[in-house]
Chain A
Amino acid sequence: MASAALNEQLASLMDSMYQEGLLDEQFQQLQSLQDESNPCFVMEVVTLFCDDAERIFTELDKLMSQPVVEFQQVDAYIHQLKGSSSSVGAQNVKLACVQFRHSLEENDREGCLQALNMVKREYLHLRGKLETMLQLEQRIQDYDKQKK
Chain B
Amino acid sequence: MAIVADSQYHVLAVDDSLMDRKLIERLLKTSSYQVTTVDSVSKALEFLGLLDGQQHEIDVNLIITDYCMPGMTGYDLLKKIKESSSLKDIPVVIMSSENVPSRINRCLEEGADEFFLKPVRLSDMKKLRPHILKGKSKEQQQQEEQQQQQQQQQPLLNTCSNGTLLNTCSNGNKRKATDEGLSPERRRPRFSTSHSLL
Which A residues form the contact surface with B (CB < 8 A)? Answer: 26, 29-30, 32-33, 38, 41, 44-45, 48-49, 52, 55, 59, 73, 76-77, 79-80, 82-84, 86-89
Structural contact, B119 and A26, CB atoms closer than 8 A: yes
Structural contact, A33 and B30, CB atoms closer than 8 A: yes
Structural contact, A87 and B197, CB atoms closer than 8 A: no
Which B residues form the contact surface with A (CB < 8 A)? Answer: 17-20, 22-23, 26-27, 30, 68, 97, 118-119, 121-122, 195, 197-198
Structural contact, A83 and B20, CB atoms closer than 8 A: yes
Structural contact, B119 and A80, CB atoms closer than 8 A: no
A80 to B20, CA, bound (A): 11
Structural contact, B198 and A87, CB atoms closer than 8 A: no
Structural contact, B19 and A48, CB atoms closer than 8 A: yes
Closest A residue to B18 using CB positions: A48
A119 to B197, CA, bound (A): 20
- Given the complex, which residues of A lie within 8 Å of B118, measured CB to CB? 83, 86-87
- Given the complex, which residues of B lie within 8 Å of A52, measured CB to CB? 17-19
Structural contact, A33 and B26, CB atoms closer than 8 A: yes
CB within 8 A of A77: which of B26, B30, B119, B197? Answer: B197
A49 to B22, CA, bound (A): 11
CB within 8 A of A33: which of B19, B20, B27, B197? Answer: B27
Taking the nearest CB of chain B, how far is it from the CB of A25, in angstroms? 9
Taking the nearest CB of chain A, how far is it from the CB of B129, in angstroms? 19
Contacts A29-B122, A33-B122 given; indicate if A83 touches B22 (C-beta within 8 A). Answer: no
A51 to B14, CA, bound (A): 21
Taking the nearest CB of chain A, how far is it from the CB of B65, in angstroms? 14
20 A/B residue pairs, CB under 8 Å, sorted by A? A29-B119, A29-B121, A30-B23, A32-B122, A33-B26, A48-B18, A49-B19, A52-B18, A52-B19, A77-B197, A80-B17, A80-B197, A83-B17, A83-B97, A86-B97, A87-B17, A87-B23, A87-B118, A88-B19, A89-B119
Taking the nearest CB of chain B, how far is it from the CB of A102, in angstroms? 15
Taking the nearest CB of chain A, how far is it from the CB of B102, in angstroms? 18
- Given the complex, which residues of B lie within 8 Å of A26, measured CB to CB? 119
Structural contact, A82 and B122, CB atoms closer than 8 A: no
- A76-B197, A83-B20 given; name 8 further pairs at CB < 8 Å: A30-B23, A32-B122, A41-B26, A45-B22, A77-B197, A79-B68, A87-B20, A87-B118
Closest A residue to B120 using CB positions: A87
- Given the complex, which residues of A lie within 8 Å of B22, measured CB to CB? 44-45, 48
A121 to B93, CA, bound (A): 36
- Given the complex, which residues of A lie within 8 Å of B97, measured CB to CB? 82-83, 86
A32 to B26, CA, bound (A): 11
- Given the complex, which residues of A lie within 8 Å of B68, measured CB to CB? 79
Taking the nearest CB of chain B, how far is it from the CB of A88, in angstroms? 7
